[in-house]
Structure 1
């Protein structure tokens, strides 16, 4: 881990960060304050960024590179879009990390400390908190919709499999039984694996428009 810049040094780079959705949400008025409460960190491949089960109050914005989200030693997501957000739920309160996050390439992250906003005047502090929570709520809502859509699809696949197996039990001939049964079993296995993955995954990110940032 290498700290590239932090605090006021980042605050002087507002022009480079305006296009990132998370930072854009704060507008020009508060962007400088958010960057002052942040630091840019460079992680090497396979380096741990967030440990599962640990307390954390920082959230991270992916600037470049790629990260892998792992829950109970099972990979559940891979993030590689500029502006992807992770670790944000811990910013809402005293929460332990629900998954680990590892860099899978040389990765630049903006680490934001919401606690630093307490130093702002009351009006600015409340405004920044409101913008922060609204953005996180939007991210969580998008993830919930994505997960719901996936679960609906998985449920349909399970129903198709159930009907297929019922048909095979009723009227399949021995010559075709083995091939069709193998097909149904493989479909059921894939669906079960998908459901298990969805059950473990809570860190999937919403898709963001492609963004490129040039940093020294």
Structure 2
């Protein structure tokens, strides 16, 4: 991983960041504040960004590249959209990382150290806390909508499989019954 120092008043970077939809909720002043808590991190393919089971306070905004999410050695998702956010769940509840994230291609992320917010005072702490948790709520609501749609599709597929199995059994029962009738008819003709 190649990592920058904490970002300061880089107007060019702030302008680029403001175009990322997920960061659009921040005004310029808030983006300046966010940059002070952030670094640019560049990862090579296969390099780990977040390790499942570890604790840290960083959230990541994908700037470029492609990353995969892995839970218990199973690939569970790919992120490749500029602005995709990951690492927020452990920040919200302070729990260990629930999944690992690896760079699939060369990937560049804006990494934000949320532990710094605890060191802020007064309105700054409240403002940044509010903004980040609003962002987290929007991300999680979006992911919940997607998960609900996937659940509905999975339930529909399961219902179809159960129905197909019942039809298969019914079909087999009909074949057996027909064979029994044919046997009875044949034995009746022999008499």
**What TM-score bracket applies, with the shorter chain setting the length?**
0.7 to 0.9
Deviation (angstroms), 1:125: 1.7
Q: Which position in structure 2 is the counterpart of 1:149?
A: 149
Q: Does 1:55 align with 2:66?
A: no
RMSD: 1.9
Q: Which position in structure 2 is the counterpart of 1:82?
A: 82
- Structure 1 residues 164-203: aligned runs within 5 Å: 164-172=164-172
Mind listing any 5+ residue stretches in structure 2 that lack a counterpart? 176-191
Deviation (angstroms), 1:169: 0.8
Q: Deviations over 1:110-159 (max 9, x none)?
A: 00011222344411220111111011011111111111111111111111
Deviation (angstroms), 1:79: 0.6
Aligned residues: 175
Q: Does 1:33 align with 2:33?
A: yes
Which segments of structure 1 move beyond 3 Å, counting only runs of 4 or more?
A: 9-12, 118-121, 172-175
Mind listing any 5+ residue stretches in structure 1 that lack a counterpart? 176-216
Q: Partners of 2:125 and 2:101 in 1: how far apart? A: 29
Q: Which has the larger radius of gyration?
A: 2
Q: Secondary structure at the match of 1:34?
A: helix
Contact 1:57–1:93 (Cα < 8 Å) also in 2: no
Q: Partners of 2:64 and 2:43 in 1: how far apart? A: 10
Q: Secondary structure at the match of 2:4?
A: strand
Q: Secondary structure at the match of 1:8?
A: coil
Relative contact order higher in (CA < 8 Å, ≥ 6 apart): 1
